[in-house]
């Protein structure tokens, strides 16, 4: 348990079984800041630990917006963004290019206005996007979702909440369907509905999405009988990383890293220097030992 918190941030201490050994003591700290003019940071008045994953609505149909802080370890740093792509100077465009850069990693996305897969001669063609000035950067607009018309309700495990995918074997003919409006600039939307791009986005992913589920391990009778309550031997701690795979940075960020946003706010371009403060935890053990360690930087969300 956490007996004292001398920082201005929210914090919690807890214990969890290590996959390969005994229980481990964990301290998690969450710091919240307000971004002011020029990217200046000001400590937010409200500092609050998140005890459970939070979603925008129904977890099966809406995006994850905040990850629980009850996470024992992440092998990499999550960089996530919740917000919208903005057309420069607020002038509506059919397609808006936006980017996020940090620690040598740059991700460029393209967001479009509404567009359709239009039914033509027993098939579908992609319509031109309508001009817009703001597009939510949300997985509900990225490639994925249910297989339209599938009687089993099958969804794309990479992004279960997208607008839907066309399968000519089950999708009703002679009907229009919404097309994806968000994609990575390196993996654009094709005119061929049978070649959907990989799901794109900047937000966190839920635990049951493929990018995380692939690291969850095997929970079978053998695990239940021989290993429980420990994690299965094939569990990979990358499961706890929730960012899109292209925004999971290797290792852990150091304080003072520069975050650059392009067309992800009405300002157009923003530069934010992440806090340089590094909290230090002191662990006291029942055998009298005391260990002091600097905490790892596991994630940031502008």
Return d(Cα 174, Cα 211) in angstroms, integer.
34
Domain spans in the chain, listed from the N-terminal domain onward: 10-83+204-300, 85-184
For 107-155, the pLDDT digits (tens) are 999 999 999 999 998 899 999 999 999 999 999 999 999 999 999 999 9
- Quick one: which of 278, 240, 293, 265 has its CA closest to 84? 265
Residues in the chain: 302
Residue holding tokens 């940090």? 102
For 197-253, the pLDDT digits (tens) are 999 999 999 999 999 999 999 999 999 999 999 999 999 999 999 999 999 999 998
Return d(Cα 300, Cα 272) in angstroms, integer.
11
**Per-residue tokens: 98:** 């936006």
Q: Are 233 and 217 in contact (CB under 8 A)?
A: yes
Q: What angle do CA 54, 57, 59 make, to 5 degrees?
A: 65
């Amino acid at each position: 348990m956490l007996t004292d918190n001398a920082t201005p941030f929210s914090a919690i201490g807890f214990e969890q079984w290590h996959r390969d050994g005994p229980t481990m003591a964990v301290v998690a700290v969450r710091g919240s800041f307000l971004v002011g003019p020029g990217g200046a940071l000001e400590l937010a008045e409200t500092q609050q630990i998140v005890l459970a994953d939070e979603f925008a609505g129904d977890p099966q149909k809406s995006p994850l917006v905040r990850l629980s802080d009850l996470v024992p370890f992440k092998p990499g740093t999550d960089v996530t963004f919740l917000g919208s792509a903005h057309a420069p100077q607020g002038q509506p465009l059919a397609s808006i290019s936006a980017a996020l850069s940090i620690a040598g990693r740059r991700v460029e996305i393209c967001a479009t206005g509404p567009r359709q897969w239009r039914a033509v001669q027993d098939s579908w063609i992609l319509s031109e996007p309508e001009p817009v000035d703001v597009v939510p950067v949300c997985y509900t607009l990225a490639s994925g979702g249910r297989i339209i018309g599938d009687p089993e309700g099958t969804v794309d495990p990479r992004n279960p909440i997208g607008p839907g995918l066309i399968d000519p074997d089950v999708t009703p003919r002679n009907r229009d369907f919404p097309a994806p409006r968000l994609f990575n600039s390196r993996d654009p939307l094709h005119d061929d509905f049978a070649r959907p791009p990989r799901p794109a986005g900047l937000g966190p992913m839920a635990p049951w999405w493929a990018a995380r589920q692939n690291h969850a391990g095997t929970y079978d009778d053998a695990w239940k009988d021989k290993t429980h309550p420990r994690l299965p031997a094939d569990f990979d701690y990358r499961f706890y990383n929730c960012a899109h795979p292209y925004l999971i940075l290797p290792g852990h960020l150091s304080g003072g890293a520069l975050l650059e946003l392009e067309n992800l706010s009405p300002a157009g371009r923003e530069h934010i220097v992440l806090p340089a403060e590094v909290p230090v935890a002191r662990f006291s053990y029942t055998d009298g030992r005391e260990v002091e360690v600097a905490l790892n930087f596991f994630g940031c969300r502008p």
